[in-house]
Structure 1
């Protein structure tokens, strides 16, 4: 009898402990990518693709956030999240905040009640309304304008993380661009080959290995080499 009660106490103890364990917070960003990216453009700012089948997520988020009608402003995010949770389970023309033209263009989204739980929907919505904001959009647009204004060679350098190893005037992981300019000043083709095939031990007192960038086209190599050899 004593053994029976002892076992019961042990079971109740571990049950209580497990029920008090904190619930792991869901990753809204990851869920958004898994559940929504097949239809919505998640980029900020959006790419505005010609064959898009649903509005960009940025537009959806800002539109919903602006159109919900909370009792007071402090409850706007809560109301917006609750709207998303309800709408993706039971979408309808009556609930939608989209104008007639948008609904005619994209149609009504399919119900996700079989593939997205309420907790997952809340995590997605919270991420949407914290990431896709007017402020973040303005910052992203400004950054894009600055990027678009860069020389094409610098864009290639950024895309391929050249600045992760090289600096303009000082050695870092690899030699500075200033040193590279001096070494290859008379031979752009030699620099192109060094970038394309990579190198090891090409610089005095440096053990750094230059990886090969064979994926770059000849045109990209031309543009990148020309940018590197132009005084910055």
Structure 2
């Protein structure tokens, strides 16, 4: 199966290892993976800030950077949501309407693609410890992704997934929210992290690096004994660097 990968801005700039681990996962699953180095952003940030003209320019480039006839996989539900839903606002009834619809139908978040398209949930990963799973807003509410990450994580050797209070609550990042309403954003991050600490979790795992950046910032500031991990990094633990 031929797959193109989209690497979001945050992962490209801050968590590049997560991108490499996603590619290793897809290759281990039997995919022929390609990466277009000309790709940039999906346009989510200007779109959420209300700068739709600027977002449309970035989105137009995205539509030319990717193929209409191949699966496109990203390690970020928020970016997938932008393409699948935000692009409706930007490109409906334009000259690229049909191309946009084809790309939207082929766009998948990583865990969704592994479980529902490839029908694979075991990758031989091992990570000893206790973890909670954080449902990002984009994954849960926009992409309807809930069971897929948990199914994948249940197959990781040595990892014990436990529930925590308010699993489905927001981490407080929200792009503009964290910049315009810092105190509210920080309080939401605090609540999420303390809920994980309450159940003695070693890790907070999610599909979205933006959530993990938000939570890890609070963890580092308060020197708490817990870490954040992207699901791609968890699923390659124990074998990717061998």
With the shorter chain as reference, the TM-score category is under 0.3
User: TM-score, normalising length from structure 2?
Assistant: 0.22
Q: Which has the higher helix share?
A: 1
Q: Which has the higher strand share?
A: 2
Q: Which has the larger radius of gyration?
A: 1
User: TM-score, normalising length from structure 1?
Assistant: 0.22
